[in-house]
């Protein structure tokens, strides 16, 4: 592999900010200095650009089934889309079916993803059936397979939801091995009552998805998750936190010295409940769980990001096509046309995380440039055992590097994104700041609008136990 030299860029990590040159050798960062001379190296001039560590998105759902629907990004299209957005590592999900071995579930997902992935990847293991055999598998998953995080759902009764005893047992089983538990925290049983009431009253439109998932039921489950983790003496990570009430619970726990962590997602930072007032069935595009919240929640989330009450921004990329199409209407949002509770839950976003957060967070002064890198790369890599291989620009780290033009203006649209999904949550939004070049372990895979990467080139990342916080 030829050496690569990136010269004159503004190198930004979670703590640093300086102009310098980076030498890449055999896919890793070999040297960083004010000035480097390597005549044989392939050179990329980066003056005027930000040189950032490749993004780490720890919440995506590629080729993921939900009832009869399936997300419309394959591991190939989804990871290509991620790359165009400056994300060079994703953590997706392997899901244990009821009665199934967790290791078997992991092996199946690996076989599906491996020939397709365009960026580096790992899986969290979703547990849906916690029994003595599965609990015995968990230490091996952590210690040998490098899968050190396990997700459970407190929502979606009869499908994914597990009870508190299962959560507690899992936490105890993985805690002593340095594993991490992720929770989708909403009170699924109470929400189910509200859904049934709404439908009985003939309230079938997408807006009722939001109205039947109140913020205090997110707060309740968040509280329960943290308290159970406290008893099990294990850190806990709340995925896709959306509500101020839930954030308050996280803050309260952290103030008591509990290892409670949470991520939020760009859609909760930039959109609010008014999207559900869109005419016709348009609002179905915004049916994700938790739903979009009221405006005051956004303000609380930004504050949380700023003061480290929220540690990570991940996308929860879960794209279901809006329109019926040749790949089968049953995969689209239209399945819930007559009944909001049947609309597949999830929205796209894997490509937009960096550009949105830069434009709407850094440029507006809500977060610093260093904090932006921390939220999108360093903290996720640390939390889930990928650091320092991933998540920073340092000698010895993988040369996953994004050249980002802080002044480039563009308009977000489904016409120009690289996901298979047929809509954008942010259609027509004017943005300043764009990913220009992306290197994956030293190989240029994105160059402006050109795709230079290859499917199957992404490498599975065995993650270490015990993230560092």
Distances (CA, A) of 375 to 107, 126, 264, 456: 30, 23, 10, 27
Distances (CA, A) of 93 to 108, 177, 329, 454: 11, 20, 24, 22
Among Zn ion, ligand URP, none, residue 345 binds (CB under 5-8 Å by kind): ligand URP
Beta-carbon neighbour count of residue 197 at 10 Å? 12
Among ligand URP, Zn ion, none, residue 374 binds (CB under 5-8 Å by kind): none
Give the start-end residues of each E strand in 162-208: 180-184
Q: Which is nearer to Zn ion, 350 or 412 (CB)?
A: 350
Q: How far is CA 370 from the centre of its chain?
A: 19
Q: Is residue 316 involved in binding Zn ion (CB under 5 A)?
A: yes
Query: d(Cα 433, Cα 423) in Å, to the nearest integer?
Result: 21
Q: Which is nearer to ligand URP, 235 or 349 (CB)?
A: 349
Q: Is residue 248 involved in binding Zn ion (CB under 5 A)?
A: no
The residue from 3, 100, 129, 294 that contacts Zn ion (CB under 5 A) is 294
Alpha helices (H) along 212-358: 215-232, 244-255, 266-270, 295-306, 353-357
Q: Minimal distance in Å, beta carbon 46 to ligand URP? A: 36
Q: Which is nearer to Zn ion, 262 or 399 (CB)?
A: 262
Q: Which is nearer to ligand URP, 346 or 385 (CB)?
A: 346
Contact 397, 389 (CB under 8 A): yes
Q: Which of residues 122-141 bind Zn ion (CB under 5 A)?
A: none
Shortest CA distance to 336 belongs to which of 73, 71, 154, 67?
Answer: 67
Among ligand URP, Zn ion, none, residue 296 binds (CB under 5-8 Å by kind): Zn ion
The position carrying tokens 């049953």 is: 330
Q: Is residue 151 involved in binding Zn ion (CB under 5 A)?
A: no
How many residues bind Zn ion (CB under 5 A)? The answer is 4
Q: Minimal distance in Å, beta carbon 132 to ligand URP? A: 27
Among Zn ion, ligand URP, none, residue 50 binds (CB under 5-8 Å by kind): none
Q: How far is CA 295 from the centre of its chain?
A: 22
Interface pattern 390-429 for Zn ion (x via CB under 5 A):
----------------------------------------
Interface with ligand URP (CB under 6 A): 61, 184, 240, 288-289, 316, 318, 345-346
- Reading the block at residue 77, the tokens are 């299209």
Contact 225, 217 (CB under 8 A): no
Q: Minimal distance in Å, beta carbon 96 to ligand URP? A: 15
Query: d(Cα 179, Cα 259) in Å, to the nearest integer?
Result: 13
Q: Which is nearer to ligand URP, 353 or 437 (CB)?
A: 353
The position carrying tokens 């803050």 is: 251
Query: d(Cα 374, Cα 370) in Å, to the nearest integer?
Result: 6
Q: Minimal distance in Å, beta carbon 269 to ligand URP? A: 15
Distances (CA, A) of 277 to 208, 273, 280: 11, 8, 9
Among ligand URP, Zn ion, none, residue 151 binds (CB under 5-8 Å by kind): none
Q: Minimal distance in Å, beta carbon 121 to ligand URP? A: 17
Among Zn ion, ligand URP, none, residue 288 binds (CB under 5-8 Å by kind): ligand URP
- Reading the block at residue 116, the tokens are 């397709």
Query: d(Cα 343, Cα 104) in Å, to the nearest integer?
Result: 29
Q: Which is nearer to ligand URP, 51 or 91 (CB)?
A: 91
Q: Is residue 184 involved in binding Zn ion (CB under 5 A)?
A: yes
Among Zn ion, ligand URP, none, residue 294 binds (CB under 5-8 Å by kind): Zn ion
DSSP β-bridge partners for residue 43: 5
Q: Minimal distance in Å, beta carbon 440 to ligand URP? A: 26
Q: Minimal distance in Å, beta carbon 318 to ligand URP? A: 4
Q: Minimal distance in Å, beta carbon 290 to ligand URP? A: 8
Q: Which is nearer to ligand URP, 237 or 439 (CB)?
A: 237
Shortest CA distance to 393 belongs to which of 407, 373, 416?
Answer: 373
By CB under 5 A, name the binding residues for Zn ion.
Answer: 184, 294, 296, 316
């Amino acid at each position: 592999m030829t050496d690569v030299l990136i010269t004159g860029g503004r190198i930004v990590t979670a703590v640093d900010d300086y102009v310098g040159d980076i030498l890449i050798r055999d896919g890793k960062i070999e040297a960083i200095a004010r000035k480097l001379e390597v005549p044989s190296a392939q050179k990329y001039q980066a003056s005027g650009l930000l040189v950032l560590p490749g993004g780490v998105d720890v919440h995506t759902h590629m080729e993921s089934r939900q009832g009869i629907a399936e997300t419309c990004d394959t591991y190939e299209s989804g990871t290509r889309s991620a790359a165009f957005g400056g994300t060079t590592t994703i953590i997706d999900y392997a899901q244990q079916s009821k009665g199934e071995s967790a290791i078997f579930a992991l092996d199946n997902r690996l076989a599906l993803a491996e020939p397709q992935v365009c960026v580096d990847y790992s899986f969290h293991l979703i547990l849906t059936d916690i029994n003595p055999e599965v609990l015995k598998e968990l230490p091996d998953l952590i210690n040998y397979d490098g899968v050190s995080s396990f997700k459970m759902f407190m929502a979606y009764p009869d499908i994914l939801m597990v009870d508190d005893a299962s959560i507690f047992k899992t936490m105890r089983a993985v805690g002593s091995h340095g594993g991490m538990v992720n929770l989708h925290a909403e009170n699924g049983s109470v929400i189910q009552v509200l859904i049934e009431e709404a439908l009985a009253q003939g309230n079938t439109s997408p807006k009722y998805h939001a109205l039947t998932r109140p913020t205090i039921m997110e707060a309740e489950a968040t509280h329960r998750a943290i308290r159970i983790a406290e008893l099990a003496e294990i850190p806990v990570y709340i995925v896709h936190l959306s509500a101020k009430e839930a954030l308050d619970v996280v803050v309260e726990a952290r103030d008591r010295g509990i290892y409670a962590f949470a991520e939020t997602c760009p859609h909760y930072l930039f959109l609010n409940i008014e999207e559900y007032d869109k005419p016709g069935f348009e609002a179905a595009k915004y049916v994700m769980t938790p739903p979009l919240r009221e405006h005051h929640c956004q303000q609380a989330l930004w504050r949380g990001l700023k003061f480290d009450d929220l540690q990570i921004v991940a996308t929860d990329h879960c794209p279901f096509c809006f329109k019926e199409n040749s790949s089968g209407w049953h995969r689209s949002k239209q399945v819930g046309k007559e009944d909001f509770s049947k609309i597949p839950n999830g929205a796209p976003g894997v490509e937009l995380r960096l550009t949105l957060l830069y434009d709407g967070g850094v440029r507006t002064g809500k977060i610093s440039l260093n904090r932006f890198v921390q939220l999108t790369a360093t903290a996720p890599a640390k939390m889930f055992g990928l650091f320092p291989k991933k998540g920073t620009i340092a000698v010895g780290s993988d040369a996953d590097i994004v050249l980002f033009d802080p002044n480039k203006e563009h308009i977000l649209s489904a016409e120009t994104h690289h996901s298979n999904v047929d809509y954008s949550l942010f259609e027509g939004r004017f943005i300043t700041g764009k990913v220009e070049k992306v290197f994956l372990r030293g190989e240029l895979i994105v160059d402006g609008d050109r795709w230079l990467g290859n499917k199957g080139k992404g490498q599975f990342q065995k993650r270490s136990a015990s993230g560092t916080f």
